[in-house]
Structure 1
Amino acid sequence: MDVYRQAAEIVGVVRAGNGTAKALCLRKAMQKKRQTYAVVCETLRHYELLEDVLEVAEFFKYYPQANHEFAMCMAYDVVLGKGVNTHNDSTARAITQSASYLREAYWQVHKHHIIPPRSNEKLEDEVAPDTSGGARRKIGPGDGAFSSHSLQLPRYARVNTLKISVEELVSRLRRSSEARKRARDAADGDGNTAVRSHSQQQDSDKRTTRRASLRLHLPLPEFTQDPIVPDLLVFPPGTDLHAHPAVRSGQLILQDRASCLPAAVLLDAVPVEIIGENKASSSSSGGGGKTKRHGKALVKAELEDNKTATAARKQLEYVVDACAAPGNKTTQLAALGAPHLKIMATERDERRAELLSKRVTSLGAADYVNVVNMDFFQLSSDDRAATEGILLDPSCSASGVMTRVDVALQHHHVQQQQQGKGQPADRAVSSRQGGRCGGHPKNAAAGEGQLDGDTEEAITSGAINPDAQGNDFSMKEERVEKLARLQRKLLAHSLLSFDNCRTVVYSTCSVHEEENEEVVRQVLDDERVKARGWRLSNIMPDTWKTRGVEREDEAHPLHFTIRCDPATDATNGFYVARFDRVC
């Protein structure tokens, strides 16, 4: 099936509210994924305009048997695209024969349409939760993350400190920026020279052309370092880094801000307060342990004690990345923990394990990571006994990872539902499509028509598995509950089956409370977990604003966990909880 046939099928599914453009384009069966994704996104962006074009041109009046979605994609090609249609079926021939009428109709109607801007997100390697109440967030027209098409997330890239230091790479990138500025200034100066002969002008034009070509390879715009996440660089929205030498060499890894948090939280690369950490030492000195309180009534003095204890906290030496493929978080663990940390990266799917192994090697982490093609539940007793920490980022709905075109289509679909069925728009959005299903694999996040590290990670790992569900991507409650059952099982296994493990980090790229706080809540209610001394630790209490959702009668300090909100935190929807064992 060629690009336009594939695109037409996907446009129909997305318009029906049964899938996301990105996930559907990344199915295994799809050919020419990037081109297909580009046509899908552009057709969806211009959909209402194209409908008007076809109506004014009376296309379906003369060709009533034409396939509607295929005609839309073909009309996009004729009116706004590159005119590369090579089809010879009846609909394609009809569009070709009507091309002049369609273009004329376009000039009549285009001024009446406002086209949403591109998201500048690459096709690839990521609805934010409300922190004010316990119910699943109801996202409506006023929501900051969805109310405006102008919301654009920055482009994030993590410095791979296994290959280069942050300081050295930043220095190189800034020298490149300065060189580009000098080249631009010199080109401008050439243009202002007072009098030149014809030959001098030609020479100047050649130099300007060379400089313009050079600027394409001098690359980056201004950037900053993330104030919270270690080794993370922040570029303007839409910055295309895929062809940059630092990315191609593995010195710079395209990874969303939220995706960097779990590894940083596990290895104390960001502030984490372990409640009760000082209890034993305080008792031995006669001071006694401070009483643990839930929620915001936590004793201030205990928090101060915990800050002091963090610096002296014993470093983890052996950790398991339970759902590792294809390896962004695995290699981040290696970079943060080198040279003392050893990592077992488990992946039960043979193909994904092979991809994981190749990525670990290419990014310089092979000395620290042992890739094992094995189910996390099947680890040997020796491996479980050696484990001190676990990073658990299991399969989830991926409901926090969406492109702007998906968001716009979701709003359209919700409005249609609201008009037809009287269903509140906010409730319908809260149960929108996801894209992560299947076994244990990983998640992934950014510009239209291209691929980047986090989303590609979700696909290649199987976290987004379009083939498993065909075209049905609706996030029905039963599917969320099915995922939540797997997540609870994995988390309980992590807390109960590793006798020497003292830290577990649980994360998802979901915004559904059922996959986040409710999973944590139910596992903490397990008497076996309580008996082992597991407690939630307070993640970045002073620096991260978006906290976990708590009920009014909450029995656990779920505000110790964190969420990521696109509008507040400039990253994709995400959830992170850390458990520490205090005996």
Structure 2
Amino acid sequence: MARRNPVTSAAKERKPEEKRQSNAERSAYFARREAAKVLRSMLQGDARRRAVGSIKSLVYSPSIRNKKATFALVCQTLKHLSLIKDVMDGANVLSAKWKKQKELMYIITYDLLFGQKGSFTGDAEKYLMLKKDALQSALSRILRRKGVKDVEDLVALDKVSELQKPRYVRVNTLKIDTEFAIRELRQQYAVQKDDIVPDLLILPPGADLHNHPLVMNGSIFLQGKASSMAAVALGPKPGWEVIDACSAPGNKTVHLAALMKGEGKILACELNKERVKRLKDNVKLAGATNVKVMHEDFLNLDPRHPSYSKVRAILLDPSCSGSGTAFERLDHLLPSHNAGGTDLVDIKRLRKLASFQKKVLEHALSFPAVERIVYSTCSIHQIENEDLVNSVLPIASSYGFQLATTFPQWPRRGLPTFDGAEHLLRTDLTIDKEGFFIALFVREGIHQPEDCSKNAENHAGSVTRKSSCRTRKPLNIFIAKMLKVSPHQQFTLWRKRAQAPAT
């Protein structure tokens, strides 16, 4: 009779336990790689001063599975990043091979020294496990050199204090109505309606809805109040053709679709390939079937092309400094914030941004059939806001546009740097917990009025003068195109026609 092999038997007995441990290790393995992907995007964007998205928006994208663990891992690695780099340099562990995956190495080193304990799987993990003693020695040397006892004293961990800011959620009326959303959310939270933005709900600070079924199926969107004000200020009607000029990640795009009740057409432009994917995901999630996503630079669109001859409104939310949402975006964790002189504004960068912003706003003003344009930023800087709007007023006026007061009941207006700044809208970092800016340009008389008994006002904005209520003689667009008339010349011809006696 064959003798029982005690080693084999013991291995068989341990197999279920090892399998369970292996599952946990695999979960950690993939979480680290998801975190490394987010970290790479953040660091590359920070180095270029052109972020693909915030930490939160990247972590809570549909492609990330374990969102809470990934978010915590990214944030903690960023908090320790300066120390991690010093430790890895001191231990001399980054060979040429592993430098290509340095973000993953940062994540694993954080987990190895300060985070998850236990055995690690994966080639990168196994490599750093062999270097663990060298890493620990390098850490000890740094602590001694700095004269501190532990890592907490060295890093002076600054736990991100949650702003006492309500959680805003916007109901996607393409899928559900607001009352249904309120009933569902009240099963867990106190819910109020916002008094300015339709279909915007207010929940208690810190309410975590990222995995809520209504969020997962696109019935509600986690969107701040100021961000939600931009689409409402534009005020598109069902059936209109609209351009969202810089549309990713798409929250404002799908908000426009909801305001238009899924009717008409929205051309959503986005130049960045990665952001196009996120935009498409959000459009699909929202069920916004009237949105056409265009992997295209808005500046490349020809205003004279027949494809855009019926565009009546443009939402322009271009790249900006993001200074109004820096804390909420967790930008204070990024290397650029800790590089020294963080309180000084990078004037060169702001001027470059303002130059781009002016270019796209002037381009938007040149579309011949457009009657409403919203220019918005999440910036607190005057150079991106009031100064920029003031600089385009002459050309805006030449096209027949003027500033209109959006949300007249809102108390915080533009900085009084020029006559008309009172029409502009600002939100305050201290009072509103975010710094946004909105300017509404309106041109009247392009389209025949629907009802002459009404003045040119709506819930989002009012023009400072009422339009004369008479039938306009339209410009012969076909002749203008044949003669290659510029948008400015088209408007001049239109204005002369408009002064002719009404028929």
Opposite residue 400 of structure 2, the aligned amino acid is G
1:448-490 Cα offsets, whole Å, 9 max, x none, are xxxxxxxxxxxxxxxxxxxxxxxxxxxx433322222221111
Question: CA separation of 1:539/1:75 partners in 2, compared to 1, >3 Å: closer, same or farther?
Answer: same
Q: Which residue in the other structure is 2:402 paired with?
A: 535
Give 1:355 deviation, angstroms: 5.0
Question: CA separation of 1:483/1:170 partners in 2, compared to 1, >3 Å: closer, same or farther?
Answer: same
Greater relative contact order, per chain length (Cα 8 Å cut-off, separation 6+): 1
Please, which of 481, 491, 496 is the counterpart of residue 361 of structure 2? 491
Alpha-carbon separation, structure 1, partners of 2:176 and 2:117 = 45
Q: Which residue in the other structure is 2:76 paired with?
A: 42
Contact 1:410 / 1:429 at 8 angstroms: preserved in 2? no
Give 1:534 deviation, angstroms: 1.2
Contact 1:161 / 1:335 at 8 angstroms: preserved in 2? yes
Unaligned runs of 5+ in 2: 1-28, 95-101, 446-503
Q: Which residue in the other structure is 1:478 paired with?
A: 348
- Is 1:360 equivalent to 2:283 in the alignment? yes
Give 1:533 deviation, angstroms: 2.4
* Aligned residue-pair number: 389
Opposite residue 482 of structure 1, the aligned amino acid is K
Contact 1:16 / 1:413 at 8 angstroms: preserved in 2? no
Question: CA separation of 1:223/1:513 partners in 2, compared to 1, >3 Å: closer, same or farther?
Answer: same
Q: Which residue in the other structure is 2:216 paired with?
A: 248
Contact 1:22 / 1:37 at 8 angstroms: preserved in 2? no
Give 1:233 deviation, angstroms: 1.9
Question: CA separation of 1:46/1:396 partners in 2, compared to 1, >3 Å: closer, same or farther?
Answer: closer
Please, which of 304, 314, 322 is the counterpart of residue 390 of structure 1? 314
Alpha-carbon separation, structure 2, partners of 1:384 and 1:115 = 53
Q: Which residue in the other structure is 1:159 paired with?
A: 171
Structure 2 length-normalised TM = 0.62
Alpha-carbon separation, structure 2, partners of 1:403 and 1:565 = 13
Question: CA separation of 1:251/1:45 partners in 2, compared to 1, >3 Å: closer, same or farther?
Answer: same
Give 1:45 deviation, angstroms: 4.5
Contact 2:414 / 2:423 at 8 angstroms: preserved in 1? yes
Q: Which residue in the other structure is 2:378 paired with?
A: 509
Q: Which residue in the other structure is 1:198 paired with?
A: none
Please, which of 88, 96, 101 is the counterpart of residue 127 of structure 2? 88
- Report % sequence identity: 34
Question: CA separation of 1:83/1:107 partners in 2, compared to 1, >3 Å: closer, same or farther?
Answer: farther
Give 1:238 deviation, angstroms: 2.8
Give 1:162 deviation, angstroms: 0.6
Alpha-carbon separation, structure 2, partners of 1:11 and 1:31 = 15
Question: CA separation of 1:383/1:245 partners in 2, compared to 1, >3 Å: closer, same or farther?
Answer: same
Opposite residue 579 of structure 1, the aligned amino acid is F
- Is 1:567 equivalent to 2:430 in the alignment? yes
Q: Secondary structure at the match of 1:222?
A: coil
Contact 2:246 / 2:316 at 8 angstroms: preserved in 1? yes
Please, which of 358, 365, 369 is the counterpart of residue 500 of structure 1? 369
Q: Which residue in the other structure is 2:421 paired with?
A: 558
Give 1:229 deviation, angstroms: 1.6
Alpha-carbon separation, structure 2, partners of 1:352 and 1:16 = 18
Contact 2:426 / 2:435 at 8 angstroms: preserved in 1? yes
Contact 1:156 / 1:257 at 8 angstroms: preserved in 2? yes
Alpha-carbon separation, structure 1, partners of 2:380 and 2:440 = 17
Unaligned runs of 5+ in 1: 119-148, 178-219, 269-313, 418-427, 432-475
Opposite residue 169 of structure 2, the aligned amino acid is A
Opposite residue 391 of structure 2, the aligned amino acid is Q
Alpha-carbon separation, structure 1, partners of 2:173 and 2:38 = 40
Q: Which residue in the other structure is 2:460 paired with?
A: none
Q: Which residue in the other structure is 1:234 paired with?
A: 202
1:152-187 Cα offsets, whole Å, 9 max, x none, are 43332211101110011211222xx2xxxxxxxxxx
Q: Which residue in the other structure is 2:443 paired with?
A: 581
Q: Which residue in the other structure is 1:518 paired with?
A: 387
Please, which of 230, 245, 258 is the counterpart of residue 226 of structure 2? 258
1:41-92 Cα offsets, whole Å, 9 max, x none, are 22555789x89xxx9xxx99xx954579999977853565212563434753
Q: Which residue in the other structure is 1:429 paired with?
A: 343
Give 1:503 deviation, angstroms: 0.9
Opposite residue 540 of structure 1, the aligned amino acid is F
Question: CA separation of 1:409/1:319 partners in 2, compared to 1, >3 Å: closer, same or farther?
Answer: closer
Aligned counterparts, 1:408-487, within 5 A: 413=338, 417=341, 428-431=342-345, 476-487=346-357
Alpha-carbon separation, structure 1, partners of 2:165 and 2:234 = 25
Question: CA separation of 1:530/1:508 partners in 2, compared to 1, >3 Å: closer, same or farther?
Answer: same
For the pair shown, the structure with the greater C-alpha radius of gyration is 2
Q: Which residue in the other structure is 2:486 paired with?
A: none
Question: CA separation of 1:508/1:67 partners in 2, compared to 1, >3 Å: closer, same or farther?
Answer: farther
Structure 1 length-normalised TM = 0.55
- Root-mean-square deviation (CA, aligned residues, Å) is 4.8
Please, which of 155, 158, 171 is the counterpart of residue 116 of structure 1? 158
